[in-house]
Amino acid sequence: MTALRVRLAATDALARAGALELLARAGIAVDPAAAPVTLAAGGTVEEALDATADPADRPVMVLADTFAPAGVLRAVRTGVSVLLHARRTTTDQLVAAVHSARHGDGRLPSEVLARLLSGPEPAAVTAPRTLTARQTAVLTLMADGHGNAAIARSLSCSEHTVKNVIYELMARLQVRNRSHAVARAVRAGLI
């Protein structure tokens, strides 16, 4: 199997050192002349793009800490199909990303893709007007800091039932976790 190689372009010594460390751990060589892919590193996507001499001469991957929507759009418009988060990218992800860039496939961190697809202003999520009596009881006990077992004892039901009610609440309130559910319910006047 041929060793993976990239050309490295970085905005500053810190970005370069971080990229070199990640590349070394992944076993990817830096070859300024013959590498089929450029890895542009910077604090932001914009800085990383500014570090590349000519993004059109070979596929470009961006390794950055910050992904502002404007920078991501600029990267996509200039042909960058692989964006990586500098602090969260594993060596396996980096190797897969280099292969993707070489073959013209795209890779974006999921949170970047979600933000990009949601547009400049994410649509406001509205809470339902009412909850069932059981959902209200579970949510109130969650707000008081009780765990599933304590909620089940308090409501004389099984923990499985409590988990199902919480799952329904998460979907109905369109939230990510228990704290988010309580916050949204309080703001909406549900509890």
Asked if residue 125 belongs to a domain, the reply is no
38 is in which domain, residue-wise? 5-118
CA atoms of 165 and 168, how far apart (whole Å): 5
CB 101 within 8 A of CB 60: yes
In a domain, 126, yes or no: no
Residues 9, 92: one domain?
Answer: yes
Same structural domain, 165 and 141: yes
Model-wide pTM > 0.75: no
> Which of the listed residues 118, 141, 158 is the one where a domain comes to its end?
118
End residue of a domain, out of 94, 118, 142: 118
> Can you give the CATH number for the domain in which 83 is found?
3.40.50.2300
Q: What is the pLDDT along the chain (191 residues), one digit of tens a residue?
A: 568 899 999 989 999 999 999 999 999 999 888 888 999 999 999 999 998 865 556 788 999 999 888 888 888 888 887 999 988 899 999 999 998 888 877 787 777 766 666 655 444 556 567 888 899 999 999 888 888 999 999 999 999 999 989 988 888 888 888 888 888 888 888 88
* Residue in 32, 37, 55, 45 with CA at minimum distance from that of residue 101: 37
Q: Are residues 109 and 139 in the same domain?
A: no
Considering the domain boundaries, does residue 33 fall inside one?
Answer: yes
